[in-house]
């Protein structure tokens, strides 16, 4: 099955087996930031953006990407908001084993990007809600939430550039 899509801001063509998941194809393409966790849509380790919305790529058919926009953590590497989130997660010791971190980052990016566009600032409740689909066995969530809150406090000063802003 041949697919044409926008992958991390650029046109891409994929050949994928019928029934292949988006996660499987991404990882076959060498985009391995999205992690293989439960593969049942429960842990969020495989979170990517599909047309700007977070999805569990392990339960999304690769065929859904045809004609659509897929953004992975790799594609957000040049985005100032994502870089601030990554730095904050490290500074607040919000990374332990790190397996959940890519998925958490994509979920937090989605929340904060939307808040910046609306001119709002998310509180801890909204941050926890954004992370509700990202299971973490190590951190207890306190430190990742503190990291996101610190970025939220500085949100207005973070420029809107990068893959998702184009
Ligand atoms: S690996 Fe996709 S939700 Fe767990
Ligand atoms: S840091 Fe280990 S699962 Fe979250």
CB 46 within 8 A of CB 37: yes
**Could you say which architecture CATH assigns to the domain 2-75?**
Roll (3.10)
Residue 141 has a pLDDT of: 97
Give the CATH class of 79-157.
mainly alpha
Residue 165 has a pLDDT of: 56
Residue 108 has a pLDDT of: 98
Whether the CB of 37 sits within 6 Å of ligand 1: yes
Q: For residue 81, which of 134, 151, 3 has the smallest C-alpha distance?
A: 151
Residue 122: exposure state from Cβ atoms within 10 A (0-12, 13-18, ≥19): buried
Distances (CA, A) of 85 to 16, 35, 60: 33, 18, 26
Encode the chain (166 residues) as per-residue pLDDT tens digits. 899 999 999 999 999 999 999 999 999 999 999 999 999 999 999 999 999 999 999 999 999 999 999 999 999 999 999 999 999 999 999 999 999 999 999 999 999 999 999 999 999 999 999 999 999 999 999 999 999 999 999 999 999 887 675 5
CB 46 within 8 A of CB 57: yes
Domain residue ranges in the chain: 2-75, 79-157
Measured in angstroms, how far is the CA atom of residue 108 from the centroid of ligand 2? 15
Measured in angstroms, how far is the CA atom of residue 134 from the centroid of ligand 1? 9
């Amino acid at each position: 099955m041949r697919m044409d899509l926008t992958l991390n801001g650029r046109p891409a063509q994929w050949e994928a087996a019928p029934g292949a998941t988006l996660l499987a194809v991404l990882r076959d393409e060498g985009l391995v930031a999205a992690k293989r966790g439960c593969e049942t849509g429960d842990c969020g380790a495989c979170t990517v953006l599909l047309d700007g919305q977070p999805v569990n790529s392990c339960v999304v058919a690769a065929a859904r990407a045809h004609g659509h926009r897929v953004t992975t953590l790799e594609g957000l590497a040049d985005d100032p908001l994502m870089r601030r989130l990554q730095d904050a997660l490290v500074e607040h010791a919000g990374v332990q084993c790190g397996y959940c971190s890519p998925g958490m980052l994509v979920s937090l990016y989605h929340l904060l990007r939307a808040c910046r566009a609306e001119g709002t600032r998310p509180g801890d409740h909204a941050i926890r809600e954004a992370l509700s689909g990202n299971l973490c066995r190590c951190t207890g969530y306190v430190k990742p939430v503190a990291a996101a809150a610190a970025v939220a406090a500085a949100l207005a000063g973070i420029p809107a550039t990068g893959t998702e802003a184009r």
